[in-house]
Structure 1
Amino acid sequence: MSETQPTSDEALEIEIPADPLAGHPASAYLWGHVAGSGDVSNDRIEIVTNDEASAQVLAAVAGGDLEHETTSREYAHDTSITRTEDEYTLSIGGDEGDESDESGLLGRSGPLGLPVDGRGNYRFGAFASHDRELIRGLLEGCGTICFKSSSGTVGISFVHEDRDLLELTRELIADCPVEAPLGDLGETSSGGYWFGVDDDAAPAFGTWLYENCEETGLFAPSRRRKLERSLEQADAYDE
């Protein structure tokens, strides 16, 4: 396992909030990732992503140590399929020598001061004005984008073991400015839950989600490329 540190040039491109818990686009993006692919304990937050650029952004926003490894895991919808991919883990807090955490975890004495309660339920009220970045973080943390060759459509879905988190994600999408009907919550073969955006609404929803994201740098380039390729394939299928 190797350790990676964000460069100063990358950090300067991101508008860093004074408080990573306050209402701010970068904070919303960070906590979307925490909820989607992270883990919060008494003295540590760990966030996992497959995109190096996104990992660097999250490290610039919240500090911490970034490590890289290659992993193999089962595909969420079909456990008979495995895939090998790069994995970047950002660890915040938990080390006495972590200078980014001088007064506790993100400046708080314990996790009760974070937007997650003792039962693991997330509170996103502070990020209500930054729903696009919050949902984008959630999608990159626990979502999938694909081209469905059988129907020539784009698929966007969210997968997580926490049913309550997916219910909250559904509420956030229902309140977004783009009409995006959703399918029912279903169970995955791995014991988690998932739901998808209706195929007809996926292009508009995905386009809105990544619209103007270069202005803030709060996105995973590999995920946006996957969306763009899928949209291009769907357009070609229609032709």
Structure 2
Amino acid sequence: MSDARSSADGDEPLEIEVPADPLAGHAATAYFWGHVAGSGDVTDDRIEVVANDEASAQVLAAVAGGDLEHETTTRDYAHDTSITRTEDEYTLTIDGDDTGLLGRSGALGLPVDGRGNYRFGAFSEYDRELLRGLLEGCGTICFKSSSGTVGISFVHDDRDLLAFAQELIDECPVDAAYDDLSETSSGGYWFGVDDADAPAFGTWLYENCEETGLFAPSRRRKLERSLEQADAYGDDE
């Protein structure tokens, strides 16, 4: 076990506890593989994962090594391809070497099967970190001005991965209903947490996360702002 330094909250550097084996069951590895599943790609000799928050990208690099590159991209909004958005992207690339990829000979030694499906059994004790990584990899948090509520949703091309995210939500200690999976205009799938349950679910998901540093500060700030806006909306009624 080792400690890697990262500025996860944008202020003083924070000690991130990282296991020696990036496949071992641990909060940091659960967060890492949640991100990889949500916004990454795994081949026999490379892992690439994309983050929109510099601090969380640094945490991912602390967990598994690799090289970080930063660029600004413009892409279609997943729910509506007529809308585009420009955002920062931090791509972490982990290449294999003489010992293979993360010390394994081929992708089958990773928590990914031959069909590209993820196996998360090693991280079953760290559901919150795994789910947080998934949300930051393929989810959105927003304030819905039309209804004055907080919106939390997951979007991905892999229907099975989203079904797994729903299973994790079922097992979390707060009640969080969600929609059935629906198709997006871009050909993928998505579901949203029920608006009435989104505040409690989001609060639980980021509760005490600063203790480990395993979170994207910009995403937590977005949640906090959305909760504040929802509270203010209710006060105005």
Q: TM-score, normalised by structure 1?
A: 0.92
Instruction: Please point out which of 18, 21, 44 is paired with 1:19.
Output: 21
Identify if the C-alpha distance between structure 1 residues 148 and 8 changes in structure 2 by more than 3 Å, giving closer, same or farther: closer
Q: RMSD in angstroms over aligned alpha carbons?
A: 1.3
Match of 2:95 among 69, 93, 96: 93
C-alpha distance in 1 between matches for 2:87 and 2:195:
27
Aligned with 1:165 (options 154, 161, 165): 161
Residue 47 of structure 1: aligned partner: 49
Q: CA deviation at 1:177?
A: 1.0
Q: How does 1:120-135 map to 2 (within 5 A)?
A: 120-135=116-131
| Misfit runs of 4+, over 6 Å | none
SS, match of residue 15 in structure 1: strand
Q: Deviations over 1:12-50 (max 9, x none)?
A: 610011111111000000000000000001100000011
1:141 paired to 2:143: no
State whether residues 6 and 58 of structure 2, in contact with CA within 8 Å, keep that contact through their aligned partners in structure 1. Answer: no
Taking the aligned partners of 1:14 and 1:21, their CA distance within structure 2 comes to 16
CA distance in 1, matches of 2:62, 2:98: 17
Report SS of the residue matched to 2:129: helix
Counting matched residue pairs gives 227
Q: State the shift of 1:9 in Å.
A: 5.6
Give 5+ residue unaligned stretches, structure 2: 8-12
* Alpha-carbon offset, residue 179 of structure 1: 1.0
Distance 1:192 1:9, change over 3 A: closer
Q: CA deviation at 1:231?
A: 0.2
Deviations 1:203-231 (A, max 9, x none): 00000000000000000000000000000
Q: Please give the secondary structure, in 2, of the residue aligned with 1:42.
A: coil
**Residues 71 and 88 in structure 2, CA contact (< 8 A), matched pair in contact too:** yes
Q: What SS class does the counterpart of residue 225 from structure 2 fall into?
A: helix
Structure 1 position 54, deviation (Å):
0.3
Aligned ranges 1:26-105 → 2 under 5 Å: 26-94=28-96, 101-105=97-101
- Residue 8 (structure 1) shift: 4.9
- Aligned position for 1:174: 170
| 1:162-208 deviation per Cα after TM superposition (whole angstroms, max 9, x unaligned) | 10111111111111111111111001000000001000000000000
CA pair 21-9 structure 1, distance change in 2 beyond 3 A? closer
The structure-2 alpha-carbon separation of the partners of 1:153 and 1:117, relative to structure 1 and needing over 3 Å to count, comes to same
Distance 1:183 1:9, change over 3 A: closer
Q: The residue matched to 1:54 in structure 2 has which SS?
A: helix
